[in-house]
Structure formats: structure tokens, C-alpha cells
Structure 1
Amino acid sequence: MGNGADAALAGMRRLHAPDRPGPSWTARGNGQLAAVAGAFTVAQLVLVPPGTGLGWDEAVYVSQVSPQAPAAFFSAPRARGVPLLVAPVAAWSTSTPLLRVYLAVLSGLGLYLALRAWRGLFPARVLAGAGALFATLWVTLFYAPQAMPNYWVAVGALACVGCFLRARADRYGRAALWGVAAGAAVMAWMRPTDAVWVTLPLLVLAAFTRRARLAAVLVAGLAAGAAEWVVEAYVSYGGLGQRLSDASRVQGGLGWNFAVDDQMRSLGGRALCRPCTGPWPEPVLILWWCALPVLAGLGLAVAHRARRTIRTLVPLVCATTAAVPYLFMIGYAAPRFLLPAYALLAIPVADGLFRLAATPGGRWRPVGAALVALALAGHLAVQYAVVDHTVDRTAAARRAWARTAAELHRLGVRPPCLLTGHEAIPIAFYTGCASAQTRGNNANTTEAEILRTTRRIPVAVLSGPAGRPPAYARTWEVRRSGDVRIHLAPHGGPA
């Protein structure tokens, strides 16, 4: 009887003890994760050419630290994480290819570190598979080498949740606690409100299980990352409440907005679907998105049978809360908004796919493995087609901005100068000018101030194909660059 009781107790201890991989498993697992991260970096450089010009939002972020142009207006929802991220390169170089290569390498390293946070929680092959699934999504490949915050929220979320689960399983592991704080800080550094949505289930779980230390570390990480954003709210936006209100207004007013269909419309490669009208993408382009909930449910079922329910359920719940504001609270869509959810879903989905393809003992199921391989091959083909189309379309738009900038230079609009109107923010960055708007989400000046500026430096008003210039610029000289009309202020100001 005594021996039987001892054996039962030993079995219970093994069941509830944290997984601690042996040295050989660790070495093999790290190699697989490094291979996935390295391939991800190479894929970015091949599929998203480093010479692709900066986009609209990128111009805003990079201009905060770049010598190329004056800082663009920084609207309320934005945070200073991306400017700080790109500063090591952008602060001294105006080379876009160099910045892209830097971000591609950094994003590969970020993915590797985020996946490492899950060691011991899932088998190495599941983590490598999850990394590959996330890294081969077109939206991940397209945005990881860009000066944008969403990818970094995603890897921060992945690292934070993984370290949270490790810290929860091992009360005495300090490394995991540091990982929780770092992951939370990265998310809040990039997008404070996203960080709150991702970590909400973690805070609830920590409170429910009375893990005060873990909750305190998580809150400390969020506070450290969001501190600058909060301070800036009081310095430049009239207080935290006002900044949150302004951020809501910029995003069209947060509230009940069913945007699931908008997100599906954007899956064909639309960077911003606002307003989200027009035809839906081909069904083959959205099939993977519709399959995600099913595969996530399969992963949860597999985890339950393998007695790792909590470590699968937690990322699923965090992915859900991360997606809620972008599926049900804003009236438009951008595929990059859901990157944190995709990163967190990748591990349960990979776990489920491996179970379809192999037995619990690791032996391949011939039929299941063949079907999974076929489905993944089709999935990769779809992702490649979308990223290729998206890169071509966005590169063409950015070349048009560069041509307009060159035409402005030819017309004598050179730094110091000011642009306003249609697409003024990115074109001003390409030209080296300041940008200003009198209305809309980026309003930061008045017509009177623009007219006063014409007495000091070159000023141009840009109007699109269907737009009209403001009344004060309708008598100015007009030139064209593609579809853009350039209204040049008279030298020395209006008569």
C-alpha cells in the first residue's frame, strides 16, 4: 500500500510539475526555432524588396527621428514605440533599403525570442510549426519589415503569454517573470490599448488564482511601456481622457461595429479598408481565415487529451480579446490589426495540425499527413499570391509619391517647404517638406497660418483627381504629376 501511494503521489507531481526539457531537447528545439526565424528574415528580403518606399504611416513614424523631413503630425492613437525602434538607423541614414534590412533582421530575432518563451510548454516541432505558420502569412511577411507597430505587438504578445504560463507553472523562475514584463512593455510601447486587450485575460487569471506577484509584474510591464504615452497625453493632448477620446474619434468612434466582413474583404491585400466597400476577394483567399476557428478548436481538443488545456486555452482567449476591438468595435478594417491574434492562434493551430498528421507517439499518419501537406501547400500558394500582389500595388503607389516629390523639386519646392492637401503627409516626407492639414484626423494648422507661411518658404497645395483645392489656393499656378494637381503658392505669398 505504501509503495502504491508513493507511486501515485509521484505521478501527480509529474503531472503538475512544469515541463523542463532536457539539454538535447533544448538544443534541438532552439535549432528549429532559429531555422524558422532565419527563413522568415530571408523570405521578407526576397518577397518584400528592401527598396520599397515608405508608406503613409511609416512616413509619420520615421519622420519623428529622421533628418529627411520635419516630423509629421502625430495623432492621438499613435505611440512612440516605432520611432524608437527605427531610430538606430533612421536617425542617421535616409536609406530605405538599410532600414528595411534592419527591420527584417530584427523581426526574425523577435520571432525567435517569442517562440523560445514557449519552450517546455509545447513540443519543439509544434513551436517551429507555429512559427512557420505565422511567418508565412502574407500580412506577417508584408508588415514585419515595415516601420509599423502591429508585428511588434504580436511578438510581444506571444512572448508575454508564453512567459506568463511558464511563470505560473514555476513560482521560483525569475527569467519567466522578466519575460512577462518585457513582453507587456513591448506591446504597450507600440500600442498601449492593444496591450490592455491582450493582457486582460492574464490579469483576470492571475487575480483569480491569487498570483499577486505575477499580476504585479504584468502591470509593471504595461506601465513601463505605456508611461511615455500617458505623460505625452498630459503634455500635448489635454490629458489621458482627452487623448483616449481623440483616439476614438480618429478611429471613427469606438463602439458596436460589426467589422468581421470588413476584415474578410481586406484579405485580398487591401492595406486599409476604409470605407470597406467593393467586391469580396475570391473564396480561396479567405478560406484560411475561415478555417482558423475550426483549427483552433481542434488544437484545444488535442491539448485537453494531452493534459495541457490551460496552456492552450490561455493563448486562445488572449487571441480572442486581442481581436475583439477590431472585429466588433471599429467601422473599418486593416489586416495588420489582427497580427497579435494570429500569432497567439498559431501554436494551438500547429498543435492540432500535427495531431492530424501524426500519432501521439510521433508516427506519421500517411493519409492525414498527405492531406495536411496538400492543404499547407495550397495555403502557401495563396499567401504568396497575395503578398506578391500587395507588394506590386503598394510599390507602384509609393513610386508615384516619389515622382510627385521629384516634380515638386523641379518646380522649386525644396526644403524648407510646406505641403498640404491630398496625400500631403507621405509626399511631404519624400520631398523633405513639412506637412500640415486644416481639417480631418491630421488637422494641425489653420488656413491663415498656411498663408502666412507662404511669405517665408515654398508652399504647395495638393489635390487628387476628384478633389478641389481650398478657396485660398484656387488662383495659384497649377501643375500636374500623374493624378495629383500641384497648386503652387506665389513667391512671397499671395498678392
Structure 2
Amino acid sequence: MAGHAYATLVGTRRERAPRAPGGPRRAGVVWPLATVGAVFTAAQLLLVRPGLGLGWDETVYVSQVSGHAPAAFFSAPRARGVSLLVAPVASWSSSTPLLRVYLALLSGLALYLALRAWRPLFPVRVLTLAGTLFASLWITLFYGPQAMPNYWVAIGALTATACTLRAVTAPSDRTALWGLAASGALMAWMRPMDAALAALPLLVLVLLRRRWTVLAVLLGGLAAGAVEWVVEAYTAYGGLLNRLSDGSDIQGGLGWHLAVADQLRSLGGRTLCRPCTGTLPGPAVTLWWFALPLLALLGLAVAVRARRAAATLLPLASAVMAAFPYLFMIGYAAPRFLLPAYALLAIPVADALCRLTTTPGGARRPVATTLAVLALAAHLTVQLTVLLPLVDRTAAAHRDWSRTAATLHRLGVREPCLLTGHEAIPVAFYAGCSSAATTGHNANSTSTAIARTARHRPVATLVAPGDRLPDYARTWPSVRLGELRLYYAVPEGP
């Protein structure tokens, strides 16, 4: 019954893998998807490299569970899913390469499982291409081994969409129900608001089909992932509405902001575009971005013609909902924000490309196949052209933080210590210090408290050109660090 329902949903019979002598029947079905996950992991380790130091946001998430440095200030929009994800390594080891390897392996496995969830709905060739398209984006490769939430929201959304389609069509599919609960929890665990938006079309479908068990499972998974964030809102942020309001303020105030051009500017390798000024990248860098929605709509047209629109329309709707706030409601851009949309759009795009390159009888169209292969090669070239310089720039910036930390140690600013000023959060993590700010989104202290701390603990502040020197540091000695000036106070021992 379940197999017949899936066939009805996708409008085609499932592929059958030939039975290998003495081997499992489904081995031929699994290995292309497993290969995508394995190659994705290998590409991360080769191109992004395990030695890449932790970024600003990563230091916030990792510091919550690390014994290397005190926990950094945790602002209202953040959720603790990433901290729990890295805890199996970061709680006992300060090795960044070990953490990178762990996350690369985990992200490759997660991609395989997400693609595997779609196996009853699409042929394996479509899923293999979809995984390849998503995994080959420079954004996916760059953030796969990082302690950041967006890739994991993407994996959760991709899996939840497949499991919803399967559970709605075949309620006896227990694997789909378990997968839906786990993927819903994963999304909400990482970013509750993103999870709610990506899940909205899933909830609409479930309600229209009146699948109350599926509805309970989906809502239960989302609630299980979000419960810690909601409880923390009341214990640390003055209530849920206050936390949402603070999160909106930190993001510049949610409202109508046309950020499409900002996202385009970020495609050239800008991990955070705030303020987002400057020229747009060349057409070679942005062409795939414009082609993506067109190919997705073509995939929908193909699906409607084949009378299997649901399996394509649902990921499209979830992608639109996941992308909408980051294109039209915030005044800045980061390419990682759209990772859930890219993962969901990969399914209809891959389906469209596979249909364009094969005849109704399944034979290859030589010209279309050749053009598709050339386009894929050009796509990979463009992604590497953006990725490799970005990795080099990022590594250099992180080395600067490490050198600043070494200078702090040389001057006697060692743990237990406190750091304030320019880029205090990441530098403090590298130095093993606490961080503090008196203004801005990360404000968690006062000038009086910092001055009092300096009487019995080493304290330092980093001042960038044009920044005002805090009153508490006016009498401290200082050294120049490139364009910055480091002021420090080291109390005499007893």
C-alpha cells in the first residue's frame, strides 16, 4: 500500500536496483547518495581545511560548552542547538582541527540521510544530482564544517519536507514519522524562527489532508526543539515577547527591507554584508542565483504535467517561506541565511535537469546532456573561484586574532582575564579570557564594573581607529597592533 501511495504521489514507479549476487537488494540504491555525502565531507576537509580558526559567531557557540574560555554573551536571537551539537568534542578538547573534522563528518552523514529520506519520492539519479548541486555551493562547503546553525536548519528542512510527504501519503510509514519528529526538532533546536517558517507549508499540507497523527508528530518535534529557547526567554530575557523584540532590534528591526541586492553582493564571498555597500559581483558569479528559481519553476511545470505536483510544490513552498524574511525583512545579508532555501530548491531543480536530459522512454538526449555537463563544470569552477580566496582571507583574519591573543599573554593578560573593545568576543576566546561590552547588542557590563575588575584581574581593551578610548583605560599602558591599539592593566601580585 505504501509503495502504491508513493507512486501515486510522484507519478512514476520507483526505480528498482538489480539484486547483486549475495548482496543486499538495495545496495545499488544507496551507494550514489552515500558517495555524495562522502565527497562532500572530503571536499570540506580539502578545501576549507581543518586548521581554519573559529569565527566570531563560532566562538560564541563553542564557548558555551568549552573549558578553554568562559562563555561569551549569548544574545537574544541565538539558540543553543549548535553548542549542544559541538559539545561531544568541544567539552573536552580545545582542538579546532578536531572539531572541524567532527563537523565535516557529521555534515556529510546528515546530507546522506536527508537525501535518503527522499528515496521513495524521487529516482536516485534526481537525488544524487540534487545533493551534488547543494553540496557544491561555496556557501555549503564553507559552512558545513563550521559551528553555525544554518546548514543544520537546511538539513532539517530538507528531511522534514520529505518525511511529511511520505507520512501524509502513507500513514503506516513509521520511519517517516520518526524522521519528521527528529528533523522538526533539529530545525527548532538550531533556529526556532527559521524552523517555524520552513515548517508552515508542511503544517498547511497536513491540515488539508487531515492527518492528525502527522500533525501531532510535526508539532511535537518543533516543540521539543524550541522548548529550551522558550524557557530561556523567561529565565534570562524577560519573557518570550521581550526576547523576540530584542532579537528584532539586533537584526536592525524586522520590517520591509528589500535585501535582494544585498544577498547578491554577498555572493562574491562576503560572509556578512552589514552595511551592504559596493558593486555587485560579475554575472559569472551570480548567474546560478538567477537560474535557480527559474529551474525550480520548470521543475514544478514538469511535475504538474506528470501529475505529481505535491512532491515538487511542497519543497518550493518551504523554500519560499524560509527565504522570504532574509530577502524582504532585514536590512543586511549573509549568504548562509539562504542555505535552507537552496537545499529545498535543489530537489525540483535536479528533477527539471534530469527531465531535460532524458527522453520519456529514459534514453539520454546527447545535446542536452552535454550542455548540462558543461554548465555543471562551469558552476563548480565559479564556486571554487569564490570559495578558495574566501578561505584564505578568513584564515588570515583568524590568525590575526591568534596573534593578538599571544600578545595579550606576553603582556601578562592571562586567564582569569577580561577583554573589551574592538572584536573583543573572538579575541577573548582565543586568549582564554572573558569578554565584556558596555554598549551595542552584546552589552553585558558597565564601565564602573570593568574598572573595578581591573583592580584584581588582568583587563585589556582593543581600540580601533576612530573609536573612543574608554575612561577606565586612559591611564593604562598601550601597544600598537597593526591599526589597533591595545590598552592593558595587569594588577601586581599579592
Which TM-score band applies after superposition, normalised by the shorter structure? Answer: over 0.9
Alignment partner, residue 331 of structure 1: 331
- Is the deviation greater in 109-118 or in 201-210? 201-210
1:26 positional shift: 3.6
- Aligned pairs (5 A) from 1:252-267: 252-267=252-267
1:28 aligns to 2:25 (yes or no) = no
- Aligned pairs (5 A) from 1:94-109: 94-109=94-109
Is 2:479–2:486's contact at 8 Å kept on the other side of the alignment?
Answer: yes
TM-score by length of 1: 0.95
SS of 1:345's equivalent in the other structure is helix
The C-alpha deviation readout for 1:433-487, integer Å capped at 9, x for no partner, is 0001001010001111101100111000111233232233233211122222101
Is 1:17–1:169's contact at 8 Å kept on the other side of the alignment?
Answer: no
Alignment partner, residue 6 of structure 1: none
Take 1:345 and 1:383, find their aligned partners in 2: how far apart are those partners?
A: 18
Take 1:460 and 1:235, find their aligned partners in 2: how far apart are those partners?
A: 31
Take 1:246 and 1:433, find their aligned partners in 2: how far apart are those partners?
A: 26
Alignment partner, residue 238 of structure 1: 238
- 2:296 counterpart letter in structure 1: A
- 2:228 counterpart letter in structure 1: E
Is 1:206–1:214's contact at 8 Å kept on the other side of the alignment?
Answer: yes
Take 2:85 and 2:6, find their aligned partners in 1: how far apart are those partners?
A: 44
Is 1:29–1:125's contact at 8 Å kept on the other side of the alignment?
Answer: no
- Is the deviation greater in 210-219 or in 122-131? 210-219
Take 1:216 and 1:298, find their aligned partners in 2: how far apart are those partners?
A: 33
1:29 positional shift: 2.2
- 1:139 counterpart letter in structure 2: I
Alignment partner, residue 147 of structure 1: 147
Take 1:87 and 1:78, find their aligned partners in 2: how far apart are those partners?
A: 16
- Aligned pairs (5 A) from 1:266-281: 266-281=266-281
Take 2:119 and 2:307, find their aligned partners in 1: how far apart are those partners?
A: 16
What RMSD over aligned residues (CA atoms) do the two structures have, in Å? 1.7
Take 2:32 and 2:449, find their aligned partners in 1: how far apart are those partners?
A: 58
Alignment partner, residue 176 of structure 1: 176
Cα distance change of structure 1 residues 15 and 222 upon mapping to structure 2, 3 Å threshold: closer
Take 1:484 and 1:187, find their aligned partners in 2: how far apart are those partners?
A: 39
The C-alpha deviation readout for 1:114-134, integer Å capped at 9, x for no partner, is 011101100000001100000
Is 2:9–2:308's contact at 8 Å kept on the other side of the alignment?
Answer: no
Q: Which runs of 5+ in 2 are unaligned?
A: 19-24
Is 1:160–1:184's contact at 8 Å kept on the other side of the alignment?
Answer: yes
Alignment partner, residue 317 of structure 2: 317
Is 1:400–1:482's contact at 8 Å kept on the other side of the alignment?
Answer: no
Cα distance change of structure 1 residues 464 and 361 upon mapping to structure 2, 3 Å threshold: farther
Take 1:68 and 1:124, find their aligned partners in 2: how far apart are those partners?
A: 44
1:305 positional shift: 2.5
Take 1:132 and 1:339, find their aligned partners in 2: how far apart are those partners?
A: 14
Is 1:420–1:461's contact at 8 Å kept on the other side of the alignment?
Answer: yes
Take 2:182 and 2:93, find their aligned partners in 1: how far apart are those partners?
A: 28
Is 1:454–1:492's contact at 8 Å kept on the other side of the alignment?
Answer: no
The C-alpha deviation readout for 1:21-59, integer Å capped at 9, x for no partner, is 646474322111000000000000000010010000000
Take 2:450 and 2:432, find their aligned partners in 1: how far apart are those partners?
A: 17
Is 1:465–1:484's contact at 8 Å kept on the other side of the alignment?
Answer: yes
Alignment partner, residue 22 of structure 2: none
SS of 1:268's equivalent in the other structure is coil
SS of 1:486's equivalent in the other structure is strand
1:71 aligns to 2:71 (yes or no) = yes
TM-score by length of 2: 0.95
- 1:221 counterpart letter in structure 2: G
Alignment partner, residue 185 of structure 1: 185
Is 1:418–1:428's contact at 8 Å kept on the other side of the alignment?
Answer: yes
Take 1:26 and 1:312, find their aligned partners in 2: how far apart are those partners?
A: 25
Deviation above 4 Å: which 4+ runs of structure 1? 11-14, 16-25
Take 2:295 and 2:107, find their aligned partners in 1: how far apart are those partners?
A: 26
Alignment partner, residue 120 of structure 1: 120
1:489 positional shift: 2.5
SS of 1:271's equivalent in the other structure is coil
SS of 1:175's equivalent in the other structure is helix
Is 2:10–2:308's contact at 8 Å kept on the other side of the alignment?
Answer: no
Is 2:157–2:183's contact at 8 Å kept on the other side of the alignment?
Answer: yes
Is 1:53–1:399's contact at 8 Å kept on the other side of the alignment?
Answer: yes
SS of 1:363's equivalent in the other structure is coil
Is 1:21–1:120's contact at 8 Å kept on the other side of the alignment?
Answer: no
1:14 positional shift: 6.3
- Is the deviation greater in 12-21 or in 216-225? 12-21
Alignment partner, residue 434 of structure 1: 434
Take 2:340 and 2:232, find their aligned partners in 1: how far apart are those partners?
A: 25
- Is the deviation greater in 426-435 or in 174-183? 174-183
- Aligned pairs (5 A) from 1:32-111: 32-111=32-111
Alignment partner, residue 472 of structure 1: 472
Is 2:6–2:120's contact at 8 Å kept on the other side of the alignment?
Answer: no
1:251 positional shift: 0.7
Between the aligned residues of both structures, percent identity stands at 66
SS of 2:267's equivalent in the other structure is helix
Alignment partner, residue 406 of structure 1: 406
Take 2:5 and 2:88, find their aligned partners in 1: how far apart are those partners?
A: 51
Alignment partner, residue 385 of structure 1: 385
Alignment partner, residue 8 of structure 1: none
1:374 aligns to 2:385 (yes or no) = no
